[in-house]
Amino acid sequence: MSRCKYCNALIDWVQTESGRKMSVDPQVITIIQDNLGDIEGITLYGQQIRGKLTYMTTPGAVPVQILHFKTCKARNKPAQKQGRRPS
């Protein structure tokens, strides 16, 4: 786990099907796949899907992690610069 350089929130990294790494929020939620759904997430296998929030016991429910850039509170702010320590 690491921290977002914009908002300092804890984030995980998931490898997508194409091999890229994407930052995700650490919480796992369950959605039911729906192309018109309002939640976009990445499955544990790296597949990016869209759906609606549902219960774990719902048939067809898929556990996903939400993409962090969708929830980052400071995504429109520039990254914080690392200050130099005085010698």
pLDDT-based confidence at 73, cuts 50/70/90?
A: confident
Is the full-model pTM beyond 0.85? Answer: no
Q: Quick: pLDDT tens for 15-66.
A: 998 999 999 999 999 999 999 999 999 998 899 999 999 999 999 999 999 9
Query: Residue 7: is its pLDDT beyond 80?
Result: yes
87 found inside a domain: no
19 found inside a domain: yes
**Total domain count for the chain?**
1
Q: Which residues form the domain of 41?
A: 2-71
85 found inside a domain: no
76 found inside a domain: no
Q: How does 48-71 read in b/e, with b if 16+ C-beta sit within 10 Å?
A: ebebeebeeeeeebbebbbbbeee
84 found inside a domain: no
59 found inside a domain: yes
48 found inside a domain: yes
Query: Residue 81: is its pLDDT beyond 80?
Result: no
